[in-house]
């Protein structure tokens, strides 16, 4: 039986509309500032999409575009200005950064209360210790998609493929908080297909096109594909072999149109959370 498709475009549009309604009811407009350094073309597309989505939902969106030759001290100085600006609720430093800048130093410089990417070690620590904080946007979006499936999480076996700071690790923490029994698998895992085959919930965040085959998937499982891979012919593919996996999974996210659109919607959700938390503090 073919899987039910978890449509990230539809869900993200619904979430953005809900956020727009909540923002319209406030007596202020939450501010999101994206800092972009250099001219990475993919970053340009992401930043424009973030800007448009934020404006449409009623946020004050601003992009500060610094030259590729910006020094680390200059970037940290710019971040300090934004940390001190009361009109700025969320700061996002767009990655990748040019090689002369230590990305971790830039992440560490953002006020954790304005860290809408959820990458600051304080927010990562809060997530790992079960305390409220800023949660990285992509895993937060995956949790929305999982909730949409209606699949139970309590006691479910979840397998996360990938252990990055941005996706894999925070994803595993969120699933743990949702009472799943969580396995993190990665490039050194001994038997990846066997680990995956146990999963009621499988999240792939690896960056290898169509690595996950149908016979790795437990029949009826929820399959959430974070991967975005550009194939030689220009098409986009996920980390899951979608066509064959959809014959076996219970629920599946497509690429594109699954997790990707949720990431931006959750960035706005984080910015609204940050704005409300700062004003309540």
Q: Does 259 bind ligand NAD (CB under 6 A)?
A: yes
Residue 168 vs 254, nearer CB to ligand NAD: 168
How many Cβ atoms sit within 10 Å of the Cβ of residue 268?
A: 28
Residue 163 vs 218, nearer CB to ligand NAD: 163
Helix pair angle (41-56, 8-24), 10° resolution: 50
Q: Does 167 bind ligand NAD (CB under 6 A)?
A: yes
* Shortest distance, position 115 Cβ to ligand NAD, whole Å: 16
Q: Does 144 bind ligand NAD (CB under 6 A)?
A: no
Q: Are strands 201-204 and 31-37 parallel, antiparallel or unpaired?
A: unpaired
Q: Does 172 bind ligand NAD (CB under 6 A)?
A: no
On whether the CB atoms of residues 184 and 168 are closer than 8 A, the answer is: yes
User: H or E segment at 66?
Assistant: strand 60-66
**Segment interacting with ligand NAD, rule: CB under 6 A, options 72-80, 112-120, 222-230, 242-250:** 222-230
Which of 206, 267, 272, 275: binder of ligand NAD (CB under 6 A)? 206
Q: Are strands 60-66 and 181-185 parallel, antiparallel or unpaired?
A: unpaired
CA pair distance 83, 33, nearest whole angstrom: 11
Q: Does 228 bind ligand NAD (CB under 6 A)?
A: yes
**Segment interacting with ligand NAD, rule: CB under 6 A, options 31-39, 47-55, 60-68, 165-173:** 165-173
**Segment interacting with ligand NAD, rule: CB under 6 A, options 149-157, 226-234, 245-253, 272-280:** 226-234
Q: Does 161 bind ligand NAD (CB under 6 A)?
A: yes
Taking alpha carbons only, the member of 97, 140, 142, 86 closest to residue 116 is 140
Q: Does 235 bind ligand NAD (CB under 6 A)?
A: no
CA pair distance 180, 153, nearest whole angstrom: 5
Q: Could you give the string, one character per residue 94-133, with x where binding to ligand NAD holds by CB under 6 A and - elsewhere?
A: ----------------------------------------
Structure tokens at 214: 């149908």
| Bridge partners for 225 per DSSP | 204
CA atoms within a 13 Å half-sphere pointing along the CA-CB vector of 266:
23
Whether 9 is catalytic: no
In terms of Cβ atoms closer than 10 Å to its own Cβ (0-12, 13-18, 19+), residue 197 is: middle
Whether 114 is catalytic: no
Which is catalytic among the residues 78, 114, 115, 117? 117
Residue 144 vs 163, nearer CB to ligand NAD: 163
Whether 55 is catalytic: no
Q: Are strands 157-161 and 201-204 parallel, antiparallel or unpaired?
A: parallel
* Shortest distance, position 163 Cβ to ligand NAD, whole Å: 4
CA pair distance 114, 90, nearest whole angstrom: 4
Q: Does 163 bind ligand NAD (CB under 6 A)?
A: yes
Q: What is the CA radius of gyration of the chain?
A: 19
Would you tell me which residues interact with ligand NAD (CB under 6 A)?
138, 161-164, 166-168, 186-187, 192, 205-208, 211, 226-229, 259-260, 263
Q: Which residues are catalytic?
A: 50, 94, 117
């Amino acid at each position: 039986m073919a899987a039910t498709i978890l449509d990230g475009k539809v869900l993200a549009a619904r979430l953005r509309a809900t956020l727009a309604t909540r923002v319209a009811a406030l007596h202020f407009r939450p501010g999101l500032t994206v800092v972009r350094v250099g001219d990475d073309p993919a970053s340009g597309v992401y930043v424009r999409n973030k800007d448009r989505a934020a404006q449409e939902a009623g946020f004050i969106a601003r992009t500060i575009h610094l030259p590729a030759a910006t020094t680390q001290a200059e970037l940290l100085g710019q971040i300090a200005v934004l940390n001190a600006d009361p009109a700025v609720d969320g700061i996002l430093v767009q990655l990748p950064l040019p090689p002369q800048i230590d990305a971790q130093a830039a992440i560490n410089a953002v006020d954790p209360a304005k860290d809408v990417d959820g990458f600051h070690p304080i927010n990562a620590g809060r997530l790992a210790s079960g305390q409220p904080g800023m949660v990285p946007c992509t895993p937060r979006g995956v949790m929305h998609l999982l909730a949409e499936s209606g699949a139970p999480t309590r006691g479910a076996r979840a397998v996360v493929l990938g252990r990055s700071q941005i996706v894999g690790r925070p994803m595993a923490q969120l699933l743990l908080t949702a009472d799943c029994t969580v396995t993190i698998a990665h490039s050194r895992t001994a038997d990846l297909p066997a680990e995956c085959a146990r999963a009621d919930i499988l999240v792939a965040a690896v960056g290898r096109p169509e690595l996950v085959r149908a016979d790795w998937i437990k029949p009826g499982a929820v399959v959430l594909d974070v991967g975005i891979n550009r194939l030689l012919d220009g098409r986009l593919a996920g980390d899951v072999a979608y066509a064959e996996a959809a014959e076996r999974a219970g629920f599946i996210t497509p690429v594109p149109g699954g997790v990707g659109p949720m990431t931006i919607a959750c960035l706005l959700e984080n910015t609204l959370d940050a704005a409300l938390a700062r004003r309540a503090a």
